[in-house]
Chain A
Amino acid sequence: MKLIHKLEPLWWILFGAGGFVIGFVLPALILGVLLLGDSSVMSDGLSYPRALRLALHPLGKLFLIVVPTLGFWHCAHHVRHLMLDLFGHASAPLGAYGGYGLALLGTIATVSAVLAL
């Protein structure tokens, strides 16, 4: 846990940046892609050729890497502190290593998915 505490400023930067990114874009992504993606409202916008074109644009790639990655680290830090609040210090290693480990997995999955485009 010593290293985790030493890196606290890093977790906080990722947490804050992730919070902003989520606030700025996640509601629109959930609504536009996950909820309406298969509807006629989005049928042109999210057709395969257009979705791929958006994703392959350098800004699109940057967006697709930054949003989930920072979002995952934000969520990991929040869950770590939620666990501390609810279950006390005994849960600290699980919250920290479990949460940040999952965020790292999410980061690897995100980068791999974008690089495979």
Chain B
Amino acid sequence: MSAAHTRVEKTPTAPARKPSGFPLGFYRYRNYTLFAFTAIPMAISLAFLVAGVAALGRGEEAWTAWLAAQSSPALNALHIVCLLFTLYFAIRFGWVGRKIGAGRIGPVPPPPLPLPIMGVAPIGGFVTLWIVLLVILGGWLA
């Protein structure tokens, strides 16, 4: 049998294991886990919004009732919690954006602006769009 046909054994390795302190024992792990967890409250909010669209399709009475239901204390508390998680997601997502330009092959050029300032740009873009959307939804310019 030629060498090409010889079955190469895999190098024995230890089974994968979690890093020490994962998921909440170290602040970077904590932030990472919290960032991933934001998916659950965000999905809940999205589901509520889809229910709102469905209510809109059922007529004025259903729409008004759905809007009124959202202002119950329990749902208000839930929406506030979901909003906080969503804001954490958006700010962290935008904050990561400042590093995108730094990842490249070859000599790394210095960023055009200090990294903290570059992080403000995407977050500023997000906030601007939130305000624009609120103005459209609220009909405040009409």
Give the interface residue-count category, chain A.
Answer: 35 or more
**Per-residue A-contact encoding for B24-68, CB less than 8 Å = 1, 0 else:** 000000000100111110110111111011101100100110011
Q: Tell me the complex Cα distance, A107–B111, Å.
A: 40
The answer to whether A82 touches B134, judged by C-beta atoms less than 8 angstroms apart, is no
Q: B66-86: which residues lie under 8 A (CB-CB) from chain A?
A: 67-68, 70-71, 75-76, 79-80, 82-83, 86
- Ordered by A's residue number, 29 sampled pairs between the chains whose C-beta atoms are within 8 Å are A20-B93, A22-B89, A23-B89, A28-B129, A28-B130, A28-B134, A30-B45, A31-B83, A32-B137, A34-B48, A34-B79, A37-B67, A37-B71, A38-B68, A38-B70, A41-B138, A44-B139, A50-B139, A68-B50, A75-B46, A76-B39, A79-B43, A81-B36, A88-B16, A102-B43, A106-B46, A106-B47, A113-B50, A113-B54
Q: Tell me the complex Cα distance, A68–B45, Å.
A: 9
- Say yes or no: is B117 at the interface (Cβ < 8 Å to chain A): no
The answer to whether B50 touches A110, judged by C-beta atoms less than 8 angstroms apart, is yes
Contact count A vs B, C-beta below 8 Å: 166
Instruction: List, in ascending order, chain B residues with CB within 8 A of A33's CB.
Output: 49, 52, 70, 137
List residues of chain A with CB under 8 Å of any chain B CB: 19-20, 22-35, 37-39, 41-42, 44-46, 48, 50-52, 54-55, 64, 67-68, 71-72, 74-76, 78-79, 81-82, 85-86, 88-89, 102, 106, 109-110, 112-114, 116-117
The answer to whether B50 touches A39, judged by C-beta atoms less than 8 angstroms apart, is no
In-complex Cβ contact of B45 among A19, A34, A46 (8 A): A34
The answer to whether A116 touches B54, judged by C-beta atoms less than 8 angstroms apart, is yes
Q: Tell me the complex Cα distance, A52–B55, Å.
A: 11
Instruction: List, in ascending order, chain B residues with CB within 8 A of A44's CB.
Output: 138-139, 142
The answer to whether B50 touches A45, judged by C-beta atoms less than 8 angstroms apart, is no
| Interface of A, helix, strand, loop or mixed by DSSP | helix
Known A26-B45, A27-B83, A34-B79; contact A45-B137, beta-carbon cutoff 8 A: yes
Additional 5 contacts, C-beta under 8 A, given A34-B70, A68-B46: A27-B126, A28-B130, A48-B64, A79-B39, A86-B23
Known A35-B70, A44-B138; contact A82-B36, beta-carbon cutoff 8 A: yes
- Say yes or no: is B119 at the interface (Cβ < 8 Å to chain A): no
- Say yes or no: is B115 at the interface (Cβ < 8 Å to chain A): no
